Amino acid sequence: MTRRTELLRELAAGFAAAGLEAPEREARALVKAALGLSDLDLLARGEESVAADEVARLRGLAARRAGGEPLARLTGRREFWSLDLSLSPDTLVPRPDTETLIEAALEVFPDRSAPLRILDLGTGSGAILAALLSEYPAAWGLGVDLSEGAARQARENLAPLGLNRRAAVIVGTWDAAISGRFDLVVSNPPYIPSTDIPMLDVEVRDHDPRLALDGGNDGLDAYRAIAESLPRLLATGGRAILELGIGQEVEVAALLAAKGVPPDGPARRDLGGVARAIVTMAL
């Protein structure tokens, strides 16, 4: 029988050989997720044995991780804004950088009791919509995604959080199937230029859906579509908050300004200092 500590050392060594940046941390995270353990379990019961079938399963998962498959894809789960979300092949893995959009929303709408109408364009896993609804208990939200699989996954994430009573998710192309106006429009759109996708890290290139990555020749196709629709979608006093790719602030700001919804100032920066969330002026 293989003890937990031995398995951790084995997996960490394999991850180090594969060039992962934090092999010990990766090994602990994989063992915890796969076996349903806590940090305390690993610390206090590290000498306990792992069944042979579980060892084989973990070695298989470790081989996939060493080959570049993200841990979140292996476990099928990811935390975002302290919410536990499930994933599918049709959705991006939510990233901490995207939490900058939630922080920006809380800044421009500080009243948590406000009955906001929220629209999430390209909702994916529903991470942004779920986070906003959790912060604004009187709000109602609509998520839209071109992918039926992503829309289904968003619904499945909203339901166990008890947010499905205040939300709907539909399949559609941006605002094509939407009427009415919203206080807050948010989006993490596809913004990678098509020619750059083959150069992305393997974790993104081979495991995130291309539909959620490909922003067209210059990476700005989705921003053009969204900027065109915002004057019709935003209510009086409404704001839009859009995630940006690296180096896109100036171009996206110009697109928004040309449609009468200019930014309210510099984009909010993420923890890495990247201009990540652009916020429009209130209508």
Could you list the residues known to form a binding site for substrate, using ranges.
Answer: 188-191
CA of residue 100 relative to chain centroid, distance: 11
Residue ranges of the binding site: 122-126, 145, 174, 188-191
Tell me how far CA of residue 224 lies from CA of 109, 135, 145, 174, in angstroms: 25, 29, 17, 11
The owner of tokens 């990476």 is 219
Instruction: Show the 3-state SS of 249-275.
Output: HHHHHHHHHHCCCCECCCCEECCCCCE
| Residues making up the binding site for S-adenosyl-L-methionine | 122-126, 145, 174, 188
Enumerate helices (H) and strands (E) in the chain, giving the number of each: 11, 11
